[in-house]
Structure 1
Amino acid sequence: MFFTSYAGSTGDRGPVQRFHIDVQNEIYSVLGRTPSAEGRLKHPEPASGPGPAVLDCRALLVLYSAEYVDDAQCAKEWSVFAERMDRRTRRTGERPDSLVGIVWRTDALVLPRPVTAVRHIVDEEYQGPGLLGLQQDPRGRDRYQGIVRRVAARLMRAAELPPPVMSEPESRTVAPRFGPSHAVPCRRRDVVEPATEPPKAPAAASGRDARHMMLLLVAGTADRMRHLRGQVACYGGSAEEWRPFHPYSEETVTSTVGWAARACGVDRLAVVAPGPDDPLPYDIDESATVLVVVDPWLTGDPAFRALWERIAWSRARVAAVVVVLARTDEESTAEATRLREAVSRTPTRMLDAAHHEAGSREALAHIVVAVMADSVARPDDDMGGARARTGELTIESPAERRVRRQRERVGWLRRGANPWPPVMSRTPGESLGPG
């Protein structure tokens, strides 16, 4: 019946899915749970062009944000559906009301002229933070539900006069009406510009210029957490679906960290969620900033300590450990003292990293920003420590301390389980151990 188009780069997959389901349930309550009333949600994976659903859906639901109008795939989806509506207008002389839009995020949003030329945005007079803000604000639930009902009614009315179906070869010929290619200002044809040298190819980013981040997510699934706590509604079928701030926010930890990392200019984000017996990837990029996010409830699992030791003995250079203890989770708040104590009993110092506690989605995002700022401010030498002039006292950096400890452990293993000589040694000068 309808297709929900949104920008996946915002990291809002959880809230978007919730809104899509709310609209879908409202339609089902009127039309019944039939295949003809079913809506489809855009896949999170990026694609080169619009999906098949955009070519034959009877209505298009658009979630506008600054990322949406700057995304090439989103612009292509919107333009293909707009061309379908134009074809119906040329055939019948009537303009179909098949496009339904809502303002999802208002941050830095400037709607392009082709979008504003069509009056299709629900609750356009609203000047608040967008539908995402209403969804996450407990005081805005009534207004949010009202918008859901209005969107569902518009979609059902739009489905009565659908635009003609378009084939995939035809969709390739449709030019996007906005997007990145339209952000470049046009040059005047009557102005002759001086000849310039051809632009040189940018130099490849060095290891220090490129900003990489790895998220080690130490969390469990719903089935695994049922043995450790009572409330498991915030968990899913995989660790990546953990939503610790549910029900006030449907954002996952992965999407929150990803959004904050992209805001800091991170070029690549890798997410690793090791299971109880899963080995960590060996080829970890040593230049990456590694962030470990921990669910404290998982400390009750017998396999937690072994997993933590595998992280400590891996090649990952952990920059920070974040324990998520949601303030909105009544069960976690009641057990906060016990959970903090359980985390402190784990070998957390083995990672030699800063430790933080996040009680909200905003706090988690700010911690990510702070960790990335600290990683950029590292010294220039290979070992991470400041180079000292001759005669100055040098301070051992965390990287140097890590290397020294590894060498000490190797030496310990080579000497055996009891490397130190007895107190009453027969060798002179060794009565108190090696000097």
Structure 2
Amino acid sequence: MLYFFLSHAREDDPRSVIRFFNDLSSEVRNLAGADPHDTVGFLDEQSLYVGQRWQLALADALASCKCFVAMTSPRYFRRDYCGREWGAFSDRLAAYERQWKRPAPALLPVRWIPMAVPHPLAEDIQLHSAGTAASYLKYGLRHMLDLQRFHDDYQEFVFDLAQRIVNVAAEYDLPPPRRPIRLEEVADAFTITSTTDAPPPGRRPVSAVGPARLSTRAVVHFVIVAGTRESMSAVRRKLEYYGDTAVDWAPFRPDVDETLAEFASRVAEDRMFDSEVTDISRLGECLELAKRRNDLVVLLVDAWSPALAEHQQALLDYDNHDGNTSAVLVPFNSSDDETRADATELQVRLASVLPRHIERRDRVMLRPHIPTPELFSTDLEEILEVAQNRVFRTGTVNPQVPDRPSRSRPILEGPTTPLDGEQP
């Protein structure tokens, strides 16, 4: 079993990094009951660029390790390969949290060299908890390793970290990535802005993974343009596709019992996108957020929804939106005889609220006739690919720092022994 992956900036005193790696590996073996020569950790001692074989070994380690130990320093957060390693492991954390609805504390940042100003991604890592030794906080682990007077602190730190790694490995079974990791395709987590802030009231982010969610992938905002069971009762007879909220709309029942939001989020996940879900009341906010962050917006429109007065103006306002990275899909159930009987009237009504989009004839980003779940999946996959390519060509660079940390980070406490002569 590969218990941990050690990520570090290769210029940060490599001899000391190797020594720490060997000490940590030895302690993990002892605590896990592994054989003395078992490989329990991975350390990149070579350049990523010496050969494809080594890159594959590194990618395999990221895909199978149980924990990610990040040796943080001022230099670490300026190295894109460190950001890519962090990002690749973060995506595995996100997949676990989506599946099990709880965070996995498997990303373990270590203060290797202290930083005067924390990187925005790591600024909410709690390094000043009550039990943390003053030596670790002030000097960092590298200095503790080098000086004999910190020997006991260092040994205790290594033991505590090894115990954390073994415990996490036993309790949390992180899934491997859906596709082989190619680091050249992974976004640098240290140079992009997070798009997973806590949703405002009223938004229901189907794929949200809790406060510890980490991800570096592209984000698609699904806007559900549908009514509730109550509101749709004034418009049509068949109400089995609707629920208490707009997000409960499930047009492909009974063949697909999950909501369309869940179905769409699953398709997006298969294409390596993170997703958030809201209803039409937050459409304008969603478009503005996507413009600033180079996200995608996909409207999932019930053909009957333009009959609702509260939807008509919102769709007309959207029709004046000039972005070419948002899309409209209109799914319906091929066995829905009521929709088939009123198809012409529904098409006319849709054209009345989206006239510019109809005239533009962007056949990629406007799909007004999707009668089956299979076609919906195919259309959505194509839209995500095309829209992402358009973002690459026309998107803007907005390296904005979030107003506040968007999620908590794993806490790694140092040893408890205070610095000589200092108060604990």
TM-score, normalised to structure 1, is 0.40
Looking at both structures, which has the greater relative contact order when contacts are Cα pairs under 8 Å and sequence separation is at least 6? 2
TM-score, normalised to structure 2, is 0.41
